[in-house]
Structure 1
């Protein structure tokens, strides 16, 4: 028999039993090492409570309280009682939450406790929709892409285990998390059973062939592995896009609808790019443009540019203009340019039909009441609107009154009668029409009401006979409502397919946040080259073909992509490497005199515009007695690790037959800055002593002939606008993350005179491209696209410095019309190497 408990243990056991523990559990707790701490904590709780019953806890709560007593000894009594109260009122219901509460209050011991922050840190009231959970898991998997793709299903247990420890996934019910994660893995790697069968077959074959070393595990699906694209079309020939349904493969509720669809499309692919004209497009949209236009082009189909212009409060003409310009700049021409507003009358008629069929009703519920019907902030039980059973005739009258302007905004809406018991929030009687009372840029004051995106999008897809409605994964949840509405109205139903969106490291894409940056002058307009709007990338000189190549190289899958900035920059560099001529640009000039050359000395040197592409031709470079070199290439104090010009040094000049040797230098008396370096040109024909046999300079520097140098009014050097990799995750504190050194304006730079040849050739080539597109439009009997290029087409590699383009602020002609009278403004496109700017 076990020994009889001591009186002290018996006293503690009786106390714990009063608190709600069973007799056996009370005795076990009384004998534990943490019994005194648990006793003190619960005594404090009793003293703090006005009602004895309030202090009683159920078995689960007592377990959490004991965990608190054991692990929170470093906290003050007040903070421990705060956590205990959260256990009592069931805000904290799991061990993980209690552990998070202890961790939070240890880091934030100040009182009173910030309840909102505490709740967030502990997962209090946490809820997540299926679509949000899917997006979170895909983001986590994308972040662990190397390991996930390498191991496939074999690594599922490890990855899902780590996933359960990550915020906010740690608060998801384990079975829900496991099920959603398995769905993502199935999408990426095929079914788990197929994986097991394939792995077993591989193992059997390896055993049979005695080559076990070659059976290292299952192959990852091509949908999960970004493939290197030899051409932009590769992303349509393989991976996720290659597995989409064929035209006619989307099932219909009414089979006749498919027959009508195929008769109209003649079996061709039809897609659409449907931006809202309420802001400027950004780098993420380049993927949507490439996917929708490229997929249609690859299959010899057509892609619409459809403006989703159903919110006149936020739409401006400049957005319409720039969206079309961006599409054309990226190399695509819309099949047709359409607007959701083209269909306002038809959409209204279908809304009336939806009411008549009993699938919609008018409602004067407030936003707060609608939220409460959907479970409210606490995600409680859902219930129907009081208006859901309203007679059809009444809804028809009130909807007509909405159109006639008899209601103010917020007084009446039209809601779809869907399925309030569904787990999908897009089926909770979402709004189809609302009163705005604002004039529309195309329809004027004809309409006081406007359809919502959820009502408009699928029906416009249907009107335009879209075969593939391609969108990003945040719309996965909306697919149910999309299909429900088409079926309810018995119209042709396109198939929506979702791919992972593109997010670039260090880039802000929120329209609200971008607007604040522009309006409050943190940047110099929407086309500030530090931004990642498409107009900004265009102004920075990023070639549109490089953007398409970047998207193609990433591949298209259902996983979202947070791509490292250096990967984007490397794609741009790779494109520029073989497509831009090379010139000498001196950013911060120092005058150099070759004292042993005559004052009128001039030598013409021939050099290729690109050493690896003879088709670019050659240029004649003047070499004279007076030169300029970059201040970075001279150091008044020599050192062993510096191989450029310095006292006692001999260096080579790019493309010059003989090296030069330092003689002396001069400085500014006021600042001490070096202003002039005197050198000797090492040419035996000038009577100089020959250099040692086989002598080769250790350093080579670039230069420009001073008498022939072309002045650069400004050279604009750009660094990352934000210091962190994901400024969008900082909420409204993203402004605190701005890099104060993101823009450096260098004045006084010079470039060699061949820049004018590059300017003329580049602008001429751009005009040729426009003519080719106009000729193509004539052959196809379509609208001829105008030129969408500017001076940014003038791009060159500044030897040993970076890639640059001309900014639109440049002036290429003087008052007499002479080109050489220009004032150049240069924009940095990209550095020659990823770490060039960091080193500086």
Structure 2
């Protein structure tokens, strides 16, 4: 038996003796790649050998599997040292049975390990507080949608969250609600339709000056709002939220909430021409869906401030937000755009190719969602950025993949 065959066999035997004598091929592959990551590049060549070894091993009685493992890799029979697991930090102002959280992915591509950390924490907090978890597909950028994600995302996150998603909603099915709230803000004098050139508006904003559109009467604003649907072309008008022009952060000053977009949407076709931008839709949805707490990346700190303007305008209570710092997975490519191109040129089979860091691939490799949950708990809530080498990430998953 050559070295590679022996290497494969020890993991097949170890996995088989744990699970009634039948090795899980995905788990065996995961162990092999964790120990020898260089085999990722040769996986297509090695897979027939892995399958053959697993088929041989499953024919052995469990006692024979253990006996052989004792001879070739006795270290795998040693009990692992039990490490005390980290606990979740308490959520601010949270009560058991009253917590509502949401997962808010965009169907612009598949879900990778970075998304998985945030979504795992949301799921774990809902379990901890006996709360409700909502999956909200944020698909208000028609030109960026990757249609297969409409099916894949609920599947991937359903697996990650152990089937505990209480409700799934799609933002593109809620356009009329966003229009209603936008019109109310116009009537209240809290929003206005701006037809200024983007560069002109930016220059005025930097100087903390109002654009000419800001002070127009409400009647004129209503007429302009109507014209966004039947008159203006893309780029000619946006709906802006009135904020403090003296805000020290220029990005907070009269930020855009709705814009014109004529791209055909895969779900609604060409029915809608006016689309909400992320901060407006998120604020409306979080309120309407009763979201009490969120977990999100710290890159959303400014977005929370923008959304607060909507809560203040309507007199709503904002959710409690918890943040995590950026996680740099060293040596792992998580760019959906780059991976999509690689799949199209045949470098990878699909998004569940086990060489990829996407949830579908981890699932296919035999990892259990609980292994990812424990990694997410290790990362935890906090603003500090972290760097996680690829080897450490997969070792963590392997250690918890029981």
- TM-score after normalising by structure 1: 0.36
CA distance in 1, matches of 2:335, 2:83: 29
Q: Secondary structure at the match of 2:166?
A: coil
What does the per-residue CA deviation read over 1:679-738, in whole Å, with 9 as the maximum and x for residues that have no partner? xxxxxxxxxxxxxxxxxxxxxxxxxxxxxxxxxxxxxxxxxxxxxxxxxxxxxxxxxxxx
Which residue matches 1:244? 92
Alignment correspondent of 2:194: 363
2:205 and 2:392 map into 1 onto residues whose CA distance is: 43
Summarize the Cα distance change of 1:478–1:402 in structure 2 as closer, same or farther, 3 Å threshold: same
SS at match of 2:351: coil
Distance 1:294 1:281, change over 3 A: same
Task: Specify the SS of the correspondent of 1:476.
Answer: helix
Q: Spell out structure 1 runs of 4+ moving beyond 6 A.
A: none
The DSSP-based 3-state class of the residue aligned with 1:316 is: coil
> Unpaired segments of 5 or more residues in structure 2?
1-81
Question: Is the 8 Å Cα contact of residues 343 and 460 (structure 1) preserved in structure 2?
Answer: no
Per the alignment, residue 394 of structure 1 pairs with 220
Distance in 1 (alpha carbons) for counterparts of 2:112 and 2:345: 19
* Pairing of 1:125-144 with structure 2 (within 5 A): none
- Tell me the distance in 2 between the aligned counterparts of 1:242 and 1:492: 20
Question: Matched residues in 1 for 2:281 and 2:208: separation?
Answer: 26
The yes-or-no answer on 1:309 pairing with 2:157 is no
Residues in 1 aligned to 2:218 and 2:286: alpha-carbon distance in whole angstroms: 27
Partner of 1:574: 399
Report deviation, 1:229.
7.0
Correspondence list, 1:633-648, <5 A: none
Corresponding residue SS for 1:477:
helix
From the CA coordinates, give the structure whose radius of gyration is larger.
Answer: 1
Deviation at 1:573, TM superposition (A): 2.9
SS at match of 2:143: coil
Distance (whole Å) between structure 2 residues aligned to residue 554 and residue 506 of structure 1: 18
Question: d(CA) in 2 for partners of 1:461 and 1:560?
Answer: 27
TM-score by length of 2: 0.73
Secondary structure at the aligned position of 2:148 is classed as helix
Q: Deviations over 1:425-450 (max 9, x none)?
A: 44211111101123333333332100
1:432/1:229 CA distance change after superposition, 3 Å: farther
**Larger helix share, 1 or 2:** 2
Pair 1:457–1:243, CA change in 2 (3 A): closer
Q: Aligned pair 1:235/2:87, yes or no?
A: yes
Q: Which runs of 5+ in 1 are unaligned?
A: 1-227, 248-265, 376-380, 580-840
Alpha-carbon distance in structure 2 between the residues aligned to 1:529 and 1:382: 52
How many residues get paired?
320
- Structure 2 counterpart of 1:719: none
Listed as ranges, the matches of 1:661-676 within 5 Å are: none
Aligned to 1:440: 265
Shift of 1:243: 4.8
Per the alignment, residue 292 of structure 1 pairs with 122
Distance in 2, matches of 1:229 and 1:551, equals 15
Q: CA RMSD in A?
A: 2.3
Q: Aligned-pair distance for 1:571?
A: 1.7
1:581-606 CA distances to partner (integer Å, 9 max, x unpaired)? Answer: xxxxxxxxxxxxxxxxxxxxxxxxxx
Give yes or no for contact 1:229–1:235 (8 Å, CA) kept in 2. Answer: no
Asked if structure 2 preserves the Cα contact closer than 8 Å seen for 1:365 and 1:385, the reply is yes
Report Cα offsets for 1:218-262 as digits up to 9, x if no partner. xxxxxxxxxx9745xx432xxxx3152225xxxxxxxxxxxxxxx
In the TM superposition, residue 280 of structure 1 has moved relative to its aligned partner by: 0.7
3-state DSSP class of the match of 2:174?
A: helix
Deviations 1:61-82 (A, max 9, x none): xxxxxxxxxxxxxxxxxxxxxx
In the alignment, the residues of structure 2 paired with residue 278 and residue 305 of structure 1 have an alpha-carbon distance, to the nearest angstrom, of: 15
Contact 1:361 1:417 in 2 (8 A): yes
Cα 1:522/1:383, change in 2 over 3 Å: farther
Question: Aligned residue for 2:174?
Answer: 343
Distance 1:396 1:267 in 2: 42
Q: Which has the higher contact order (CA 8 A, sep 6+)?
A: 2
- SS of the equivalent of 2:393 reads helix
